[in-house]
Copies of this chain bind each other. A is one copy, B any other.
Amino acid sequence: MNVYDYVVKKARKANAAARVMSGKDTAEKNKALLSMAREIRKNKYDILKANELDLENAKKLGKSSAFIDRLSLNEKRIDSMAEGLEKVASLPDPIGEGVKMWKRPNDLRIEKVRVPLGTIGIIYEARPNVTVDASALCLKSGNSVVLRGGKEAICSNLAIYNIIYKAAVNSGLPEGAVEFIDITEREAVEVLMKLNGYIDVLIPRGGRGLISSVVKNSTVPVIETGSGNCHIYVDADADLDMAEKIVVNAKTQRPAVCNAMETLLVHKDAAGEFLPRLGSTLHKLNVEIRGCSRTQKLIPDVKLATERDYSKEFLDLILAVKVVDSMDEAIDHIYKYGTGHSEAIITNNYASSQKFLREIDAAVVYVNASTRFTDGGEFGFGSEIGISTQKLHARGPMGLNELTTTKYMVYGNGQIRE
């Protein structure tokens, strides 16, 4: 069978399963998730053995240590996959919720009800945990899922997939509820991205290259989970102790993630006091600072920041700094360089806080808190499939609700249109 026919067959199977999945009640879905968790724990060593093969291969190919780390599984990581499944099972079922209901003058009653999206395609890189995490969220929200993981994790993914697939089907979910595309040719992704009618939405999870390639090439609607060039603006009226604490947290607590801060903007009236003390704190924490010429005068040994530095998501212990003359200059800077992910102001001035909240166009805008809170768990969603930086459908952390759509149910008693 050629690649096209193979992928279509998988997608068609998932699509047929979606119809059955949409009718599954909460107990049935939870039973399957808990069974998947049990089987993952039970077959831990088979997964680790498969992961060994991927790791050997990755080392042979000279992959970076960060790559190897993302690919690596161990007992703890496998346990946390199982815990993820249990967690998702414990979350409220979004399906069937009446979002609103109203009556028209002609006595038609209209109800907007939450229903599954249908079939969700997940395209991801060499992180085997996504195989489990994405499946859990898609199934709990009543969808079927077609998985396409990075080829470097193929052995790990297949081992995990075979376990969760069997558990799902044995618990009563339809065959096709979870499909995995196990051919590693790029062509498989090309086909998947054009399967309008079988796939309702594609969610790419991974680096900027993967995401922009899917956005560019897919005719199926895409939810863009985004890169974050996040800013913190320290206002003239900021509490500088609070500002320092938040900046340190947003830059250093976990620098490799999308909600970490990449550029600090400081009002000129605060810079003289704030930047020297911050510079020495960040120096101790091994953060490299690249700043504007005014920053260079306030912090020793700072490299001059380039246009590129302000545009870049470092994902590392590097911080770009700029001193601004006004809040408007800060907002303009964020409009120019921001990716619409998470932006924060530190201020005790009421008017400044309101202006920033109103004028900044991003998924999440903070006053006096770290950008690191942009996360499904921190928002109270229980779990997340990613953070959307696009404006359609979902914006910000996406939990179970964001994997659903609505339909209108209209109750009549013979109404016709005049």
A305 beta carbon closer than 8 Å to chain B: no
Are A391 and B201 CB-contacts (below 8 A) given A215-B196, A361-B407?
yes
A6 to chain B, nearest CB (A): 23
A186 beta carbon closer than 8 Å to chain B: no
Complex partner residue of A395 from B219, B246, B367, B407, CB under 8 angstroms: B407
Q: Nearest CB to that of A96 among chain B residues?
A: B358
Contact between B416 and A372, CB atoms less than 8 A apart? yes
Known: A363-B407, A369-B410. 13 other contacts (CB 8 A): A19-B335, A23-B358, A108-B373, A118-B361, A200-B391, A221-B391, A365-B408, A365-B409, A365-B410, A368-B415, A373-B415, A379-B408, A391-B405
Are A378 and B104 CB-contacts (below 8 A) given A196-B215, A368-B413?
yes
Q: Is the interface of A mostly helix, strand, loop or mixed?
A: mixed
A352 beta carbon closer than 8 Å to chain B: no
A411 beta carbon closer than 8 Å to chain B: yes
Mask for A198-217, Cβ within 8 A of B = 1, else 0? Answer: 00110000000000000110
Q: Nearest CB to that of A369 among chain B residues?
A: B412
Query: What residues on B are CB-neighbors of A62 within 8 Å?
Result: none
Complex partner residue of A373 from B223, B364, B417, CB under 8 angstroms: B417
A226 beta carbon closer than 8 Å to chain B: no
Residue with the highest number of chain B CB atoms closer than 10 Å, among A200, A370, A409: A409
Query: What residues on B are CB-neighbors of A410 within 8 Å?
Result: 364-367, 369, 373
Contact between A366 and B412, CB atoms less than 8 A apart? yes
Interchain Cβ contacts under 8 Å between A and B, 11 examples:
A23-B358, A246-B416, A250-B416, A362-B407, A363-B408, A369-B410, A369-B416, A370-B415, A372-B417, A392-B393, A392-B405
A311 beta carbon closer than 8 Å to chain B: no
In the complex, A378→B102 CA distance in Å? Answer: 12
Contact between A405 and B414, CB atoms less than 8 A apart? no
Q: Nearest CB to that of A357 among chain B residues?
A: B409
A344 to chain B, nearest CB (A): 8
A174 beta carbon closer than 8 Å to chain B: no
A396 beta carbon closer than 8 Å to chain B: yes
Contact between A391 and B117, CB atoms less than 8 A apart? yes
A298 beta carbon closer than 8 Å to chain B: no
Contact between A219 and B215, CB atoms less than 8 A apart? yes
Complex partner residue of A364 from B408, B416, B417, CB under 8 angstroms: B408
Q: Nearest CB to that of A103 among chain B residues?
A: B380
